[in-house]
Structure 1
Amino acid sequence: MYQTVWPGNQQWPLWQRLLFRFLFVYFILMIEPWNLFSSIPGVGYVLNFYTQFVDWLVNSANTHLFKTYKQLVQPNGSGDTSWAYTQLKLYLLLALFICLLWTAIDRKREHYNRLAYWLRIVLRYFLIFNCLGYGFAKVFLQQMPFPSLSQLATPLGDFLPMRLSWMFMGYSDTYQFFSGLMEVVAGLFLFFRRTSTFGTLLAAGIFANVFMMNISYDIPVKLYSLHLLLAAVLLLLFDYKRILHFFFSNRNADSSYLYDVRFPKKWMRIGRIVLKLFVLATGLVMPLVQGLFPGEPPAASSPIPAGLYDVPLFIVNNDTVPLTVSDTIRWRDVVFEKNGRGSVNTTDTIFRQMYRRGYFSTKADSAKQTLAFSKNNWAFQTFDLFTLHYEIPDSNKIILKGKIRNDSVFAVLTKSKRHFQLAERQFHWLSEYNR
């Protein structure tokens, strides 16, 4: 049954009002619910001014208030940059200041049931969008790819914990699909008022696991996953009595009334339906369509056969460079991936160095028989490295020659016979012994 008043107790204790004011301001600042409408034409342009203002505010706080970092690094592939931590400190400080000011101005108010209702809506849809977004990315196997040939050729001990966890998830399509499906299910249950408590419990368990993985494997999304977990926990606190009765006291749980609000005006009721349909389209339909029809153009075919190649001969300036452990320039093996990327087993800093391998991208010109090498940095900027002429005498050999820096280079690459058991995706119902 719908109520004509905002759900909640009519008399809040002082500590509850203080805590609510602080949490309300903090989560609204951190979640930025207005970004929900950024897909509407023109809205993103207006919100860009707000983004620029926040960036200026964070940088100014670092320069004049906290004085912690010499220069802030914007969030990139990592969400735990110096900029993100400065924003966290600034928002905590702003939430505390606004909370105290709010308390001084509005100290006689007995409850915040109306604002609590809207905060629950914001938290719910914050969780819904992330459950569906991350969930569909895993369901369609787009978040964690299967370990590449370059990664398979890298010794396990050279990987950082984050990359190890990413390959662990990407190795199994079944497990990645299952974990994504659970996130999608949680998002769907959160979408409906009658099942929102169950969806919140699912989301809390999911994001608790995600947060623990992030801090245990040093995955750089710690702050964001923590906020997802805290949002789920806060939603559960609004419903804690029913949860305690059902799970711990062996008592009947009353029906939830947290979202039972009848809007008095017709335009409000219509607006609520339109908003829900908009959220359904942007949070569910769009990720589903993008997953089913990614729309990515097929990778251009390359005359260089993909695979792992040994480098038995490497000549620099007419001098044969022997295969020694201490040499930092010589290539030991080369990987050409199917997507035009690859890596070389060398510590030469001309390449992008990761896990004791140099990573690159290639673009072949079949007419000139040249192979242009480039690299991307952490800011996804592309830099040209060098161009080599190639010859392919047979299916197992590639000859590269040209200049790297100012040195003349001649390299013979032969198809490696190395075998990676991990690439076989083994599975056995019957296992007579541990492998």
Structure 2
Amino acid sequence: MTWLGNVPLFGQIGEYYDIAETWLVNMANEYILQIHSERMPPNGSGDTSYHYAHLRFLLITATVGTLIWTIADKRKNYNTAYYWLLVIIRYYVAMHALFYGIIKLFGQQMIFPPLSALATPLGDFLPMRLSWYFIGYSGPYQFFSGAVEFIAGLLLLYRRTSTLGAFVAASIFLNVMMLNLCYDIPVKLFSIHLFLLSNFLLLGDAQRLLNFFVFNKAVQPVQRIGLPTKQMRLAQIGLKIVFIGLFLIKPLYEFAIAFDQGASPPKLTTGIFSVDQFKGNAADSLRWKDVIFEANSSGSIQTADTLFRQRYRRGYFSYTFDTLKHTIAFKKFASDTSALFTMNYVMPDTNHIALRGKIRDDSVLVTLKRQKRHFQLTERQFHWVSEANR
């Protein structure tokens, strides 16, 4: 229910709902399911042990609720309930298709491989990171995939185009699901849900779709359920306008503003620097082999020092620097308020940097020299005519 945070006055309700749901899932897992003795809470991964306990809890709750409802309720049909269920699912899928479409349109989901990634041996990458850079490498391809998701979301907003929208969404999320499953991307459960929900929207039109695409039979127009009163129809239009404003116009405006004002933060320099000398008492594994400063105020170091964020045999960092005091403060994350350590820097020219300071109470001197490294991948090559495999 965290998506309710986008809706005024509903954010607090969603927060309380999440707290209550988390408590119920943990209690059910501890006393009934007993799947995981320790549950990793939700984080950057969507496939943690908590998510699997949560899924089992919902399946059991839905099954028990269905049995009770079936026994207690004697109505012959649920046409109205089915109609509203389709509406809720349609807007839920549309919301996520629009969101992921918009961030891809502005190139914000997958990024072009930074220098640190280009300098990392291919064999060190995990499958997810490889797939992420594969998509981020090509801006036009990411824009295309985002545009298709965006169109699917738009089509789902209107009943007349909802079947086509569900068809497009099912195709998109099938591809996303297979990417997540085959490249071990930790959003498997969520992508499977979006794929299944898209197909659920098509179930009501299954016979008509089979007649049209497979059996070559005439297809009659579907009979839509209309709202009985003018007030309800006006309320429906009002809610649709609110939804479009919150999940279409507002995100588009915010991303457009951020994209237009997306000036990179102040940086010391950009490039790959070899370490000419590293003076200090650090063990060999902690010594720096090279330093990369990215196009923003971040970078990485070839070192096994766990003081930094370790990924793919490199230590990643963010930094801020003071041009008056000539100091550079190394941080683990850009949002950190305190630095891991601070060093004085001297930069006589763009090709040389000297860093001096204390790391773990060890006085360290590091001198850096720019490397002239060229990566063919950054050339963004494209050839209509290719005389040979390249």
Quick one: structure 1 residues 376 and 38, their matched pair in 2 at CA, closer, same or farther if it must change by over 3 Å? closer
CA distance in 2, matches of 1:414, 1:169: 32
CA distance in 1, matches of 2:129, 2:276: 30
- Residue 369 (structure 2) aligns with: 414
Q: Quote the offset at 1:401 in angstroms.
A: 1.2
Q: Quote the offset at 1:299 in angstroms.
A: 3.6
- Of the three residues 291, 299, 311, the one matched with 1:334 is 291
Q: Does 1:127 align with 2:93?
A: yes
Q: Does 1:137 align with 2:103?
A: yes
- Of the three residues 148, 152, 156, the one matched with 2:114 is 148
CA distance in 2, matches of 1:204, 1:299: 37
Q: Any conservation in 2 of the 1:128–1:283 contact (CA below 8 Å)?
A: no
Q: Any conservation in 1 of the 2:347–2:353 contact (CA below 8 Å)?
A: yes
- Residue 20 (structure 1) aligns with: none
1:300 counterpart letter in structure 2: P
Ranges in structure 2 where 5+ consecutive residues have no aligned partner: none
CA distance in 1, matches of 2:3, 2:112: 32
CA distance in 2, matches of 1:276, 1:189: 13
Q: Quote the offset at 1:265 in angstroms.
A: 2.0
**Equivalent runs, 1:21-420 vs 2, <5 Å:** 38-106=5-73, 108-257=74-223, 260-294=224-258, 298-302=263-267, 304-317=268-281, 327-376=284-333, 384-420=339-375
For residue 393 of structure 1, give the secondary structure of its aligned residue in structure 2: strand
2:113 counterpart letter in structure 1: P
* TM superposition score normalised by structure 1: 0.86
2:327 counterpart letter in structure 1: T
User: What is the Cα-based RMSD across aligned positions, in Å?
Assistant: 1.8
Decide which moves more: 140-149 or 56-65.
Answer: 56-65
- Of the three residues 376, 379, 382, the one matched with 1:424 is 379
Quick one: structure 1 residues 144 and 88, their matched pair in 2 at CA, closer, same or farther if it must change by over 3 Å? same
CA distance in 2, matches of 1:111, 1:241: 20
Quick one: structure 1 residues 56 and 154, their matched pair in 2 at CA, closer, same or farther if it must change by over 3 Å? same
CA distance in 1, matches of 2:54, 2:105: 32
2:48 counterpart letter in structure 1: T
For residue 285 of structure 2, give the secondary structure of its aligned residue in structure 1: coil
1:422 counterpart letter in structure 2: L
CA distance in 2, matches of 1:284, 1:226: 24
Ranges in structure 1 where 5+ consecutive residues have no aligned partner: 1-31, 322-326
CA distance in 1, matches of 2:108, 2:206: 36
Quick one: structure 1 residues 383 and 228, their matched pair in 2 at CA, closer, same or farther if it must change by over 3 Å? farther
* TM superposition score normalised by structure 2: 0.95
CA distance in 2, matches of 1:198, 1:331: 56
Decide which moves more: 187-196 or 388-397.
Answer: 187-196
For residue 364 of structure 1, give the secondary structure of its aligned residue in structure 2: strand
CA distance in 2, matches of 1:292, 1:42: 25
CA distance in 2, matches of 1:103, 1:137: 42
Q: Quote the offset at 1:278 in angstroms.
A: 1.1
For residue 332 of structure 2, give the secondary structure of its aligned residue in structure 1: strand
2:370 counterpart letter in structure 1: K
Q: Quote the offset at 1:62 in angstroms.
A: 2.4
CA distance in 2, matches of 1:154, 1:300: 24
For residue 87 of structure 1, give the secondary structure of its aligned residue in structure 2: helix
Q: How many correspondences in the alignment?
A: 389
CA distance in 1, matches of 2:320, 2:6: 34
Q: Quote the offset at 1:382 in angstroms.
A: 6.3
CA distance in 1, matches of 2:183, 2:10: 38
Q: Any conservation in 2 of the 1:132–1:287 contact (CA below 8 Å)?
A: no
Q: Quote the offset at 1:39 in angstroms.
A: 3.3
CA distance in 1, matches of 2:12, 2:48: 25
CA distance in 1, matches of 2:293, 2:39: 36
The superposition leaves residues 231-280 of structure 1 with CA deviations (integer Å, 9 ceiling, x where unpaired) of: 011111111010100010011111122xx222222211110110111111
For residue 358 of structure 1, give the secondary structure of its aligned residue in structure 2: strand
The superposition leaves residues 335-368 of structure 1 with CA deviations (integer Å, 9 ceiling, x where unpaired) of: 1112211100111111110011100111101121
Q: Any conservation in 2 of the 1:372–1:386 contact (CA below 8 Å)?
A: yes
